[in-house]
Structure 1
Amino acid sequence: MNWIILIIAGLFEVGFTTCLGKAKETNGTASMLWIIGFFVSLSVSMLLLYKATQTLPMGTAYAVWTGIGAVGTVIIGIIFFKEPVDFWRIFFIAALIGSIVGLKFVSH
């Protein structure tokens, strides 16, 4: 169950980075709403990370959380923010995903 909580925490990390990107692109009320979304996502992400670390090793949980956030943020950047896509970027994202999966399998 705590692995599911950790994955959800990582998805909220993607949420708060996405909100930062959208806040940068907008101004006025829209920007303020994205900033509020940032703080809500940040709070939920940290709370769920804290909950997951109650039973998972801290180092593993943190590495998986940041890995999910990094991979998700890159994918969101490519899809919604028109960030560049090239072989090496995809290669290293795949390596990061492999590392996250590997940590899951070696953690007891």
Structure 2
Amino acid sequence: MAFAEPTPAPVRAEIEMILNRLEASTCWFQRNGAWHDGARAKAHLLRKLEYIEKKGTVQSAEQFIELAASRSSLSGRPYQVRCGRDAPVPTRQWLSEQLNTVRASSRGTPP
């Protein structure tokens, strides 16, 4: 039986940063028709990360977003994020924007 390598620390740090941003936001996360606050969203997505880590190594934050944070594994329905009165956007888009912001700030450049 082969075991997956752990997610590289820099990748895990980026994933945790974008999930922390979701948790700290006033945005809501929709999965399978129900809306959840950022803390519940983060907890759910971390469980999904742990599940996919058992199957293989997560090579990038983008891969995490695609494999775990874009859609329901059960229904196949896309996840969404709604902030304030703005229209919901796909979670893939929202998290990708957060990732770009995190990366830009670590380089000291504006997003």
Instruction: Give the TM-score band, short-chain normalised.
Output: 0.3 to 0.5
Q: Please identify the structure whose Cα radius of gyration is greater.
A: 1
Ranked by relative contact order (alpha carbons within 8 Å, sequence separation 6 or more), the top structure is: 1
Name whichever structure is richer in helix by fraction.
1
